[in-house]
């Protein structure tokens, strides 16, 4: 029985099937463990800052304010959450960084001249 809430659009499945998809990114096989760790750390830092900025947009009620202790605890929680997110794949930023830095580490590719 079709879901009454979600309308069925004729041809939607065909349109989705014909739409090109981006190839899945993979980490370079011979990636330096130090470089991989640095890339995950960079992604973790980015996510931590993003979480902090997102948290600033939430209005505080003033009903229960923890003051400076709450700010420190929230900051530590955001940093740990960011580490966990980056370690689990996160936004994919560490993979892109690792791919780019691995290429530059291998040396610049020289264009072939006729």
Q: Where are the domains of the chain?
A: 31-55+68-101
CA distance 93 to 39: 8
What mean pLDDT comes out for the span 34-49? 92
Poorest-confidence range of 24-33, 59-68, 92-101?
24-33
48 — pLDDT class (breaks 50, 70, 90): very high
CA distance 55 to 74: 9
Structure tokens, 62 = 């003033």
**Amino acid 107: pLDDT:** 65
What mean pLDDT comes out for the span 63-89? 87
Q: Which tops the pLDDT comparison, 5 or 89?
A: 89
Confidence (pTM):
0.62
């Amino acid at each position: 029985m079709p879901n009454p809430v979600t309308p069925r659009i004729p041809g939607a499945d065909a349109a989705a099937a014909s739409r090109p998809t981006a190839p899945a990114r993979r980490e370079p096989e011979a990636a330096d463990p130090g470089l991989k760790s640095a890339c995950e750390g960079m992604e973790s830092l980015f996510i931590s800052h993003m979480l902090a900025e997102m948290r600033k947009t939430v209005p505080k009620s003033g009903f229960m304010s923890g003051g400076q202790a709450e700010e420190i605890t929230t900051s530590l929680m955001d940093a740990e959450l960011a580490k966990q997110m980056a370690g689990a794949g996160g936004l994919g930023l560490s993979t892109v960084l690792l791919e780019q830095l691995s290429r530059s580490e291998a040396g610049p590719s020289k264009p072939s001249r006729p």
